[in-house]
Structure 1
Amino acid sequence: MTILAWLALYFVECLAYYLVYFFLYEEKIKSIIAPIVGGVLFLALCFFSPASSESSIPVMAHVVPIIVLMIVQRGKIMERISRTLIAFFVINCISELLLTIDEWLITGTDVGKSAALYELIIYSIELLILYAYYLFRKRQKKAPSFMVKSNRVIYSVIFMATVMLFTVSGLNWARKHIDNNGFKNMAFVLCILSYAGICLLGLFSIYVEKTNKKLVELHENEKMITAMQTRYYETLLEREEDTRKFRHDIGNHIICLGQLTEKGDIGALSDYIRGMQSGIEKIRAHCYETGNDIIDILTNHYTNILAENVKVRVSGTINTKVDQIKLCTIYSNLLANAVEELAKCTGPAELTINFSQGREYILIEIKNTLSEVSRKKDQESMTRTSKKDAKNHGLGLKNVKRTLEELNGRLDMEVTDDSFITRASFKA
C-alpha cells in the first residue's frame, strides 16, 4: 500500500513538473511514454534494488520525475539542467508553502505513520492549484505564465530582497536567544550566505534594469528602421515611375531637340537641355545609394524631409560587417541632429555627407550649415539638445559615444564660422 502511494505521488509530481515547465517556458511536453517508463523504473528500484529501503523510496519518488523532465526536454544538456533546476525550485517552494500552512493550521498531525499518503495529499493539492491556474488563464484567453512583466521586475526584486532581510533578521534574532551551539553555528552560516544572496540580488536587479533599457532601445530602433524601410521602398518606386515616364518621353524630346537644332535657335536649345538635365537630377535625387541598406534607408528618410533651401551632397560608399543596430544608432543620431539644425536655417543651407573607408577603419563625416541662433553659441552648448523633451530625446550623443567605444571608435566634433561637423570613425 505504501509503495502504491509513493507511485501515485511520482505520477502527481510528473504532472506538476509538466505544468510548471509549460508555465515557465511556454512549451508543452506531450510525452506520455517517458513518465510510464519512469514509473516502471521506480517500481523496479523499489522491489529489486538492494539499496531500496523505507528511507530511499521517498527519495526515488522525488528524483525520478526530475530525471524524466530532463529527458523529455529539447535543447542542450546544460540548458536542460538549468531549466529542470528552476522547475524543481518552483515546485518545492509551493509544496513547502503548503506544508508550512498545514503545520500552522492543523496541529498535531502525525506525519510519521503515513508519510507517503500525507505527501501525496500535499502534492495533489499543489497539482490542483496549478491546474486551476491553468484553467483560469485559459478562460481569460491568456497564456498561463509565471513570467513577471518587464516593468514590474524591479519591484519584484525589491519585494524579494525585503522578505529575505526580514527572514535573516528573524534568524539572527533566534540565534542570539536560543541556547544551542549547533543551531547558532548553522544560523550564523545561513545569515552570512543570505546577506551575500541579497547583495547578488541587488546586482541582478541593476543588470535586469539595464537589459530592459537596451531591449526597449532595440525595439524603438527596429520600429524606426521598419518605418524608414517602407518610405525607402516607396521612394524607389517613385524613382522607377519617374524613370519610366522619362523613357516614355525621350522620343518626343529627341524630336524637339532636332527641330530646335534645324532652326538654329541656340538659346531655346540650351534652355531645353537644361530642363532635361533638371529632370534627370530630380530622378537621381530621389534615392541615394551608399552600398549599405541601413545607411541608404536613413539617408533617404532624413534628406526627404529637408526643406528646399537645403542642398544635399552625399559621396562615398560604405562596406562593413558592423552590427546594423549599432550602425543605426551612430548614423541616425548624428544625421538627425544635423537635420534638426538645418530645419532652423531660413536662408540657403547645405548638408554634406561623406563616407570614406580604409583597410581597417570607416569614417562618416556629416557637415551641416549652422542657423543664425546656433552661430552665437559655444561648442559645448551646441552639443546639448534644445528640445523640450531632452530626457527622452532619441538615443543622443551619449549613446553614439558609447556605441563607438564598443567598436573601438571615436567621435569628433568641430565648429566653424558657419558649419558644424561631426566625424565618427570605427573599425570596419
Structure 2
Amino acid sequence: MLLAYIFLIFLVFIIKFVVTKNNFIKNIHLIFFTFINIVSFLLIFRGAAKDINVNFVDNIFIIIIGFTIVIFNLYLLSMMDKLLESRRIEIENKFMKEKIEIEYKYIKKLQYSNENIRILKHDIKNHLICIRNIHNNKEAFDKYLDSVDIEVNKINDIYDTGSIIVDAILDEKKIICDNYNIKLYVKANFTGCDFISAFDLCTIMSNLLDNAIESNLKVKNSDCRNITVKANCEKYMLIIIVENNKSNKIIKSKQSIITDKKNKTIHGLGLKSVKKSISKYNGDLFVEYNDENFKVKIIIPTNI
C-alpha cells in the first residue's frame, strides 16, 4: 500500500510538471507513457511481492530499478520531443529561406519588366512617327507592327494579387503552363489575407496549381488545356477557386479523391496538404468534377 502511494505521488508530480511547463494537450502522450510505465512496474512488483523467496532488499532493488527504467524512458521520450521540435524549426527555417529566394527572384523580374515598360514608353513616340510614315506601304507596315508586337510580348505578365508569395507562385506556374500550351486565367485578390501564414498560403496555391497542371497534361488536345484561378478576400471569408480541364478518371475512396495513377499512395497528398493547411483556419474544401472539368473551391472564414 505504501508503494502504491509513492507511485501515485510520483505520477501526480510528473503530470503537474508537464502541465505547468508545457501545453497539456501537446504533452498528453508523455503523461500516458508515464502512466503505462508505472502501471507496468506495479504489476511486476506485485508479482515479486507474492513470491515468498523475495526479501526486503530485493524489493528495494526492484523499486530502484523500476524508478530508473521509468525515468530513463521519460528521458528518451523528452529527447524525441526535442528532436521533433528541432526538425520542425529546421523545416520552417528552410521554408522561410525558400520564400525569401522566391520573392527576391520575383522582385528582380518585376524590376526587369518595369525597365522594359519604361523603355517601350520612351520609344512609343518614335514608333508612332514610323507608323505614320509607312502606313501607306502595307507590307512594310505589317512587318513593322510584327516587330513591335514581338517586343511587347517580351514584357512578361505581371501578377498583382495583393500577396507577393501568390504572385511569385503564379509567375512560376505560368512559365510551366506556357511550355505545355496551358492557358492560365487569373482573377485573384488576396488583399487582407494576412491572417494566413505564408507557409500555408504557399502550400494551398502550389498544390492546387500543380494538380491542375498535371491534370491538363493528360488532355491530348493541347488547345483544350486551361486553368482558371479565382480568389477574393471578402468581409467575412476568403474564397479560392481553381478549375481545370481534365481527361483522366477520378477515383474516390472513403470520400477522398485518390487518382487514376498506379501509385495511389503518392498522388492525393497534394489535396491532403491543402486540407491540413485550411483546417488551421476552420476552412472547408469542396470538390466538383465531371468528365471534362475539375474544380476545387476553398472557403476560409476571415474572422477567426
TM-score, normalisation: structure 2: 0.64
Q: Which residue number in structure 2 is paired with residue 343 of structure 1?
A: 217
Find the aligned partners of 1:293 and 1:168 in 2 and give their Cα distance. 59
Corresponding residue SS for 2:252 = helix
Q: 1:394 to 1:312 in 2, by over 3 A?
A: same
Alignment map for 1:232-243 (pairs within 5 Å) = 232-243=106-117
Q: Which residue number in structure 1 is paired with residue 187 of structure 2?
A: 315
Q: What one-letter code is carried by the residue in structure 2 that aligns with 1:362?
A: L
Larger radius of gyration: 1
- CA deviations on 1:277-318 (whole Å, 9 max, x unpaired) are 675455252x21101011111111111122252222111311
Q: Which one of 342, 353, 364 corresponds to residue 229 of structure 2? A: 353
Q: 1:353 to 1:270 in 2, by over 3 A?
A: farther
Q: Which residue number in structure 2 is paired with residue 40 of structure 1?
A: none
Shift of 1:231: 3.8
Find the aligned partners of 2:143 and 2:103 in 1 and give their Cα distance. 37
Alignment map for 1:217-236 (pairs within 5 Å) = 218=92, 221-222=95-96, 224-236=98-110
Q: Which one of 292, 296, 304 corresponds to residue 163 of structure 2? A: 292
Q: Which one of 357, 360, 364 corresponds to residue 240 of structure 2? A: 364
Find the aligned partners of 2:87 and 2:264 in 1 and give their Cα distance. 17
Find the aligned partners of 1:344 and 1:230 in 2 and give their Cα distance. 33
Find the aligned partners of 2:252 and 2:268 in 1 and give their Cα distance. 19
Gaps of 5+ in 2: 1-16, 22-33
Shift of 1:168: 7.5
Contact 1:164 1:194 in 2 (8 A): no
Is 1:283 the equivalent of 2:155? yes
Alignment map for 1:141-290 (pairs within 5 Å) = 175-177=49-51, 178-180=54-56, 187=63, 214=88, 218=92, 221-222=95-96, 224-261=98-135, 264=136, 276=148, 279-280=151-152, 283-285=155-157, 287-290=158-161
Q: What one-letter code is carried by the residue in structure 1 that aligns with 2:184?
A: V
% of aligned pairs identical? 24
* Superposed CA RMSD: 4.7
Corresponding residue SS for 2:189 = coil
Find the aligned partners of 2:85 and 2:269 in 1 and give their Cα distance. 15
Q: Which residue number in structure 1 is paired with residue 13 of structure 2?
A: none
Shift of 1:391: 5.2
Aligned length: 259
Contact 2:259 2:268 in 1 (8 A): no
Alignment map for 1:109-120 (pairs within 5 Å) = none
Q: Which residue number in structure 2 is paired with residue 92 of structure 1?
A: none
Q: Which residue number in structure 2 is paired with residue 86 of structure 1?
A: none
- CA deviations on 1:189-234 (whole Å, 9 max, x unpaired) are x96x889879978986886787577556545644553453354234
Q: What one-letter code is carried by the residue in structure 2 that aligns with 1:341?
A: S
